[in-house]
Amino acid sequence: MSTHRIGLVVPSSNVTVETEMPAILRGHASADFSFHSTRMRMHTVSPEGLAEMNAQRDRCVMEIADASPEVILYACLVAIMVGGPGAHQRVESAVADQLATGGSEARIRSSAGALAEGLRALNAKCVALVMPYMKPLAKQVVEYLEAEGFEVADWRALEVADNNEVGCIPGERVMEAARSLDLTGLDALVISCCVQMPSLSLVQPAEDEFGLPVVSAATAGAYSILRGLGLPVAIDGAGSLLRTDA
């Protein structure tokens, strides 16, 4: 069984993506994965904090490229979406150019682009969102997805600004927010628009409870990584998106 090396560019205070991504991809039947991270300093999820974090991108990309990953995931969804419509395409293009200049053949993905990619794979047009952000940032996420062509029918912002605290949000609080949404006519529910807010254990139970596809930033990131590697997307227990090749 082949082993694929995955690079993760994460906020310094993020502890969730490095646990959820391996947990998801461990379920793949025909490949193994190793994970290697580089960190951008960030504690407060605010426009200022995100701008300071994004300024560290070039350094982090070249550091992780030294590990020769096959795919790199820029794992902070809101940090890209605050850049306005189409920002994930601009960022991924800029990072790809940087990698090529440095002699790396790694493919680049972003959590923001992966979420849009995953929702399109599900043919989802009307969605609802649960997010940890303060409302002004949450509204920018809504606007970003609407610019991508999705209808955001309803959303909830849990208004947690400290990124360390985001990583400790209880699953029941996330589910309570999801249960408060109007799910009528939805094509999909995004139960966590953030790779730091823990949600992997909620995805399949939420699908079973609500009767519609449920995705998270983490499951969308895993989907995009598998697509980038040309591997089958067939993992049990992590929602409909990761069974699209089954």
Annotation-wise, does 223 bind a ligand?
A: no
Residue 163 among known ligand-binding residues? yes
* CB neighbourhood size of 159 (10 A): 12
- Does the annotation list 77 as a binding residue? yes
The answer on whether 78 is annotated among ligand-binding residues is yes
Q: Kindly report the backbone phi and psi dihedral angles of residue 129, in degrees, each rounded to the nearest multiple of 5, phi listed first.
A: -130, 145
Q: Long-range contacts made by residues 170-176, C-beta under 8 angstroms, separation at least 24?
A: 171/198, 171/199, 171/201, 171/202, 174/130, 174/198, 174/199, 174/202, 175/202, 175/206
> Which is the catalytic residue, given 76, 126, 168, 193?
76
Our answer to whether residue 76 is catalytic in this structure is yes
How far apart, in whole angstroms, are the C-alpha atoms of residue 160 and residue 119? 25
Catalytic residue chosen out of the listed positions 126, 168, 193, 194 = 194
Q: Is 60 a known active-site residue?
A: no
- Round to whole Å and give the CA distance between 158 and 175: 11
Q: What are phi and psi of 105, to 5 degrees?
A: -100, 10
Residue with tokens 């560019």: 9
Known binding-site residues equal: 14, 76-78, 133, 163, 195-196
Known binding-site residues for substrate equal: 14, 76-78, 133, 163, 195-196
Q: Which residues are catalytic?
A: 76, 194
